[in-house]
């Protein structure tokens, strides 16, 4: 049996699908655009815009010192001051280097390392709005942009510029309308095509006489289109983000031949996978580092235990991993709790998955806030027929927690870090911390486009529109739909035999 098409279980297909209703490409487009647009109403309502109204009493120009905080990936703090001399004290509470520029003034602070701070004197500012942003490649697009508002009068006490989360004070009707337009137009771009697709299934380069499966991985920096038109320098395995998926059977003996074409040393840690110590991938404790510019190393071990793991660089992980060097490493079967009744809902014995897919979260480095290596609107929708079941494993390879919220369909959490749970539980929002994996199953009961996103709202929206960690599940009630007419065709997910999405592996 090939690894790419093996069924997840021996169970027969699920029950009959509902009757056909006409389904055309335009139906799909309308579905995606219309339903996503409807969803925004709720999302925008949830966001709520923090407004700070201030005393506009006229006063002579004063000096203001504002505290501004930088982290991945936001600019916050005191962003309102009266006209006059303004100095910014810029602190970096994040984990990577940032800086701060003021667009209209053409000034840029020195780079600020994690935990550091720097002052930036802006001189005398006239009333108006000024764009502040981080100039480090990719950071602005990941959300490090905000507005410094200079009002016509004093705010009173020195430095009293209110802590104003979004600095929307004083926007005109036209400016609010422009925000509305930006939000809707950004959302209507979904789903957008981008170059490159992560999570391809890694096939063995060869299978030796003793059955050893030999795999080749090359660590290399490539251009990666993370969202439409935004190309970054990604650190990759085999040129894709996420890297190729290992899908193995328990007992497989493997060799992984690594070529390191990075400019620095690397190694590979098999996260959540049982290995001999000298294969754990932690230079210099368990091996020598694999030198950059062509160094090689071969990992050899047998996978004795089932695993829902991942692999990633360990050496320089804070740089390499968030820049893209991560992938899925699975061994054995998906531990679905067939026949169990949880909170009154029984999981069928006769259940076949339509897809068994990874959802890899990232939030930093050149890749930024992404799902499976892509930011909205370049994220890929999951298309299902009504009544189908899907299994998803969330893997967090980023630096922050992400509460992943799926509209409409409760998710049954039944494995944590690959370990089957004795007591699975249903959620609509599931928090995933760095390094964690959670595996869920859900049934797509209702037709429509249902958004699926991180619920830290600054990971999905900014004043210029939707971005980042958002995708959608598109559920069709037409069993005869043509997968070629689906807006963006799901691919590279672990398909199961008999589902509608088996044409790619
Ligand atoms: Cu998030």
For the stretch 167-221, pLDDT in tens is: 566 889 998 999 999 999 999 899 999 999 999 999 999 999 999 999 999 999 9
User: Which of 215, 144, 235, 228 shows the shortest CA–CA distance to 186?
Assistant: 228
What is the pLDDT at residue 162? 37
Predicted confidence band of residue 482 (pLDDT cuts 50, 70, 90): low
Ordered structural domains, the chain, with CATH: 25-44+193-495 (2.60.40.420), 62-167 (2.60.40.420)
What is the pLDDT at residue 59? 37
Question: Is the separation of the CB atoms in 5 and 505 below 8 Å?
Answer: yes
Pairwise CA distance, residues 162 & 67, whole Å: 11
4-8, 79-83, 379-383, 456-460: least confident range: 4-8
* Range list of H helices, 142-237: 173-188
Distance from the alpha carbon of residue 459 to the mean position of ligand 1, in angstroms: 5
Question: Is the separation of the CB atoms in 415 and 395 below 8 Å?
Answer: no
Distance from the alpha carbon of residue 257 to the mean position of ligand 1, in angstroms: 34
166-170, 328-332, 408-412: least confident range: 166-170
Distance from the alpha carbon of residue 134 to the mean position of ligand 1, in angstroms: 19
Q: Give the best-scoring range by mean pLDDT among 123-137, 240-254, 478-492.
A: 240-254
Question: C-alpha angle 379/383/388, rounded to 5°?
Answer: 140
Residue 496 has pLDDT above 60, yes or no: no
Pairwise CA distance, residues 311 & 372, whole Å: 14
The label of the residue with tokens 């209703």 reads: 21
> pTM for the whole thing?
0.68
Distance from the alpha carbon of residue 72 to the mean position of ligand 1, in angstroms: 11
Task: Report percent pLDDT > 70 for the chain.
Answer: 79
Decide: residue 471, CB within 10 A, 0-12 exposed, 13-18 middle, 19+ buried: buried
Residue 479 has pLDDT above 80, yes or no: no
Predicted confidence band of residue 166 (pLDDT cuts 50, 70, 90): low
Identify the residue with better confidence: 383 or 501: 383
User: Which of 100, 73, 96 shows the shortest CA–CA distance to 86?
Assistant: 100
Q: What single DSSP character describes residue 483? A: G
Across the chain, mean pLDDT equals: 82
Distance from the alpha carbon of residue 285 to the mean position of ligand 1, in angstroms: 33
Q: State pLDDT tens for residues 286-298.
A: 999 999 999 999 9
Mean pLDDT confidence for 46-74: 56
Cα 428 to Cα 123, 218, 411: the distances in Å are 49, 38, 6
Classify 174 as helix, strand or coil: helix
How many angstroms from the chain centroid is the CA of residue 82? 38
Distance from the alpha carbon of residue 198 to the mean position of ligand 1, in angstroms: 20
Mean pLDDT confidence for 310-327: 98
Distance from the alpha carbon of residue 452 to the mean position of ligand 1, in angstroms: 12
Distance from the alpha carbon of residue 206 to the mean position of ligand 1, in angstroms: 39
Predicted confidence band of residue 321 (pLDDT cuts 50, 70, 90): very high
Distance from the alpha carbon of residue 217 to the mean position of ligand 1, in angstroms: 29
CB atoms within 10 A of CB 29: 12
Rounded-to-10 torsion of CA 251, 252, 253, 256: -140
User: Which of 294, 305, 286, 253 shows the shortest CA–CA distance to 419?
Assistant: 305
Residue 497 has pLDDT above 60, yes or no: no
Distance from the alpha carbon of residue 463 to the mean position of ligand 1, in angstroms: 17
Distance from the alpha carbon of residue 21 to the mean position of ligand 1, in angstroms: 37
Cα 368 to Cα 121, 199, 232, 375: the distances in Å are 30, 17, 10, 8
Residue 158 has pLDDT above 80, yes or no: no
Two tokens at 149? 């508002």
Distance from the alpha carbon of residue 1 to the mean position of ligand 1, in angstroms: 38
Distance from the alpha carbon of residue 497 to the mean position of ligand 1, in angstroms: 33
Q: What share of the chain is helix, strand, coil (3-state, %, to 5)?
A: 10, 40, 50
Residue 127 has pLDDT above 80, yes or no: no
Distance from the alpha carbon of residue 94 to the mean position of ligand 1, in angstroms: 15
What is the pLDDT at residue 39? 40
Question: Is the separation of the CB atoms in 482 and 432 below 8 Å?
Answer: no
Q: State pLDDT tens for residues 233-242.
A: 999 999 999 9
What is the pLDDT at residue 213? 98
CB atoms within 10 A of CB 57: 12
Pairwise CA distance, residues 286 & 197, whole Å: 33
289-325 burial: b if 16+ Cβ within 10 Å, else e: bbeeeebebebebebeebbbbbbbbbbbbebbbbbbb
Distance from the alpha carbon of residue 455 to the mean position of ligand 1, in angstroms: 6
Question: Is the separation of the CB atoms in 430 and 459 below 8 Å?
Answer: no
| DSSP E strand boundaries for 228-271 | 230-237, 246-248, 253-260, 269-271
Distance from the alpha carbon of residue 97 to the mean position of ligand 1, in angstroms: 20
Two tokens at 397? 């390879």
Q: Is the dihedral of CA 177, 179, 184, 185 positive or negative?
A: positive
Mean pLDDT confidence for 256-278: 98
Distance from the alpha carbon of residue 248 to the mean position of ligand 1, in angstroms: 30
End-to-end alpha carbon distance in the chain: 13
What is the pLDDT at residue 34? 45
Pairwise CA distance, residues 481 & 489, whole Å: 12
49 half-sphere exposure, CB direction, 13 A CA radius: 15
Predicted confidence band of residue 485 (pLDDT cuts 50, 70, 90): low
Q: State pLDDT tens for residues 335-376.
A: 999 999 999 999 999 888 999 999 999 999 999 999 999 999
What is the pLDDT at residue 364? 97
Task: Report percent pLDDT > 90 for the chain.
Answer: 59
Two tokens at 200? 């391809």
């Amino acid at each position: 049996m090939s690894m790419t098409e093996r069924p997840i279980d021996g169970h027969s297909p699920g029950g009959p699908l509902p009757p056909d209703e006409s389904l055309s490409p335009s139906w799909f487009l309308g579905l995606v655009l219309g339903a996503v647009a409807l969803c925004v109403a709720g999302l925008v309502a949830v966001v709520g815009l923090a407004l700070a109204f201030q005393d506009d009493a006229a006063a002579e120009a004063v000096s203001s010192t504002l505290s501004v905080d930088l982290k991945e990936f936001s600019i916050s703090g005191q962003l309102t001051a009266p006209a006059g001399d303004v100095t910014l004290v810029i602190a970096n509470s994040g984990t990577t280097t940032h800086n701060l520029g003021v667009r209209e003034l053409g000034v840029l602070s020195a780079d600020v390392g994690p935990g550091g701070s720097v002052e930036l004197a802006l001189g005398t500012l006239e009333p108006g709005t000024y764009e502040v942003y981080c100039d480090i490649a990719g950071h602005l697009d990941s959300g490090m942009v905000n507005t410094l508002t200079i009002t016509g009068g004093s705010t009173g006490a020195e430095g009293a510029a209110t802590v104003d989360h979004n600095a929307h004070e004083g926007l005109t009707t036209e400016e609010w309308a422009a925000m509305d337009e930006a939000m809707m137009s950004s959302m209507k771009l979904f789903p957008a095509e981008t170059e490159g697709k992560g999570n391809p299934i890694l096939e063995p380069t060869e299978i030796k006489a003793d059955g050893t499966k030999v795999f080749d991985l090359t660590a290399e920096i490539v251009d990666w289109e993370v969202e439409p038109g935004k190309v970054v320098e990604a650190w990759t395995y085999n040129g894709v983000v996420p890297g190729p998926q290992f899908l193995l059977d328990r007992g497989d003996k493997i060799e992984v031949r690594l070529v390191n074409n990075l400019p620095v040393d690397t190694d590979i840690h098999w996260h959540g996978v049982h290995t001999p110590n000298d294969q754990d991938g932690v230079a210099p404790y368990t091996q020598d580092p694999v030198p950059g510019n062509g160094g090689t190393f071969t990992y050899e071990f047998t996978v004795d235990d089932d695993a829902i793991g991942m692999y990633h660089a360990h050496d320089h992980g804070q740089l390499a991993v968030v820049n893209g060097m991560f992938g899925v490493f699975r061994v054995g079967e998906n531990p679905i709790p067939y026949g169990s009744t949880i909170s009154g809902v029984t999981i069928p014995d006769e259940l076949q998955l339509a897809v068994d897919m990874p959802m890899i979260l990232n939030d930093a480095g050149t890749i930024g806030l992404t799902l499976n290596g892509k930011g909205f609107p370049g994220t890929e929708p999951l298309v299902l027929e009504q009544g189908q079941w899907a299994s998803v494993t969330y893997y967090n390879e980023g630096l922050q927690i992400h509460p992943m919220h799926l509209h409409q369909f409760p998710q049954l959490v039944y494995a944590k870090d690959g370990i089957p749970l004795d007591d699975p539980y249903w959620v609509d929002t599931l928090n995933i911390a760095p390094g964690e994996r959670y595996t869920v199953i859900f049934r797509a009961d209702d037709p429509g486009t249902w958004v699926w996103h991180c619920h830290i709202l600054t990971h999905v929206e900014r004043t210029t529109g939707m971005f980042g960690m958002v995708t959608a599940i598109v559920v069709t009630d037409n069993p005869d739909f043509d997968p070629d007419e689906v807006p963006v065709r799901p691919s590279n997910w672990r398909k199961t035999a008999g589902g509608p999405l088996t044409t790619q592996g």
